[in-house]
């Protein structure tokens, strides 16, 4: 796979998001299956693994730490703080003391002395971004983390944070059907030399054609409460997939691969981190970096999935208030 740069490291163009091995999409796979996915990813050349304190309320970090420990020195390991599970509930807390407590837990869970990249998972709007990033900068000085990242922030917040300490990466949802980063933060990352890590690059399964709507999703799957997956909205969104399917057939690839390839063409600083629980999907996703799209194909895909053609916001109203990203 082609290489991309993040926090001074040359890494494979596509990383692995580990969230759904423990969190968010209903019943997670068994520990054995999750371990197979992680080990197979290494065998396929994946060297960038992304987790968070929130995922599985610590269980994802424990899983990743246990499985990856023998290869730790050869891998780029990222985790996140500022949003964790407290008494069974998701809590956003960016106070320095809380971030300090979380990094100690993360290092223990991940069985490592230092993280290559540590994100502020959400900006706690009750705490100045300068205070949260200031505490993360002290962790850099202490050698607990090598680089700082931010997640779901606006270009304005990014610049404020970058003034306190260099930001190595911004992680935000970005895909054909979620184009919000194109408003400002994608270019800001480019201008400042910051990597842009795209989570949910397959639209939480929508762009692969695997997930049509919330009707058959199991309890505990966060997509059941997301507006775009409600039957009425999903029916409208499904109409966009016919053109994606036609182009993927023409290029002899899957819709998922085509969607990832489109992302990779949006800039050398863009690094998708699709997640999966299936080995076949893992192999499929990693092969997407070999697909070349010409200017006409890129333009057509962008036009098919213009933001005004997408039905429904990406988050429920309450969750939308928690993020800082620019929105169409």
- CB-CB neighbours of 271 under 10 Å: 25
Alpha helices in 146-195 (DSSP H): 155-164, 185-192
Structure tokens given for 50: 């992304």
Residues 88 and 54 sit within 8 Å (Cβ to Cβ): no
> CA 233 to CA 41: how far, in whole Å?
34
CB 122 within 8 A of CB 92: yes
Which distant-in-sequence residues (6+ apart) come within 8 Å of 16 by Cβ? 38, 41, 46, 48, 49, 50, 273, 274, 275, 282
> Closest Cα partner for 54 from 13, 7, 98?
98
290 phi and psi angles, rounded to 5 deg: -90, -5
Are 194 and 163 in contact by the 8 Å Cβ rule? The answer is no
Q: Identify the DSSP state of 221.
A: B
Q: Which of 55, 118, 119, 174 is catalytic?
A: 55
7/195 Cα distance (integer angstroms)? 8
Residue 186 in 3-state DSSP?
Answer: helix
Catalytic (active site) residue 55: yes
For residues 288 and 264, give the distance between their C-alpha atoms in angstroms, rounded to a whole number.
9
- Could you list the active site residues? 55
């Amino acid at each position: 796979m082609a290489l991309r740069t993040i926090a001074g490291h040359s890494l494979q163009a596509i990383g692995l998001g580990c969230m759904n091995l423990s969190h968010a999409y209903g019943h997670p796979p068994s520990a054995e299956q999750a371990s197979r996915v992680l080990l197979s990813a290494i065998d396929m050349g994946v060297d960038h693994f992304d987790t968070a304190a929130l995922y599985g309320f610590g269980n994802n970090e424990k899983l990743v730490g246990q499985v990856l420990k023998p290869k730790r020195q050869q891998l780029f390991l990222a985790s996140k703080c500022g949003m964790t599970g407290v008494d069974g509930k998701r809590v956003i807390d960016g106070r320095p003391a809380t971030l300090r407590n979380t990094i100690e837990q993360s290092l223990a869970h991940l069985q490592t002395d230092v993280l290559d990249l540590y994100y502020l998972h959400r900006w706690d709007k009750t705490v100045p971004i300068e205070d949260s990033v200031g505490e993360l900068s002290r962790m850099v000085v202490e050698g607990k983390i090598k680089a700082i990242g931010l997640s779901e922030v606006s270009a304005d917040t990014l610049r404020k944070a970058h003034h306190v300490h260099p930001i190595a990466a911004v992680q935000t949802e970005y895909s054909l059907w979620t184009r919000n980063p194109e408003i400002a933060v994608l270019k800001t990352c480019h201008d400042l030399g910051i990597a842009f890590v795209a989570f949910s690059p397959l639209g939480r399964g929508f762009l692969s054609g695997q997930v049509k709507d919330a009707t058959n999703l199991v309890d505990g799957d966060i997509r059941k409460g997301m507006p775009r997956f409600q039957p009425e909205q999903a029916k409208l969104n499904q109409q966009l997939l016919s053109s994606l399917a036609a182009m993927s057939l023409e290029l002899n690839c899957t819709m998922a691969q085509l969607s990832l390839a489109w992302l990779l063409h949006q800039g050398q600083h863009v690094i998708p981190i699709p997640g999966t629980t299936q080995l076949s999907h893992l192999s499929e996703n990693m092969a997407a970096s070999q697909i070349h799209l010409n200017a006409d194909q890129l333009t057509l895909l962008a036009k098919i999935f213009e933001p005004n053609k997408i039905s429904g916001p990406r988050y429920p109203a309450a969750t939308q208030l928690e993020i800082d990203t620019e929105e169409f």
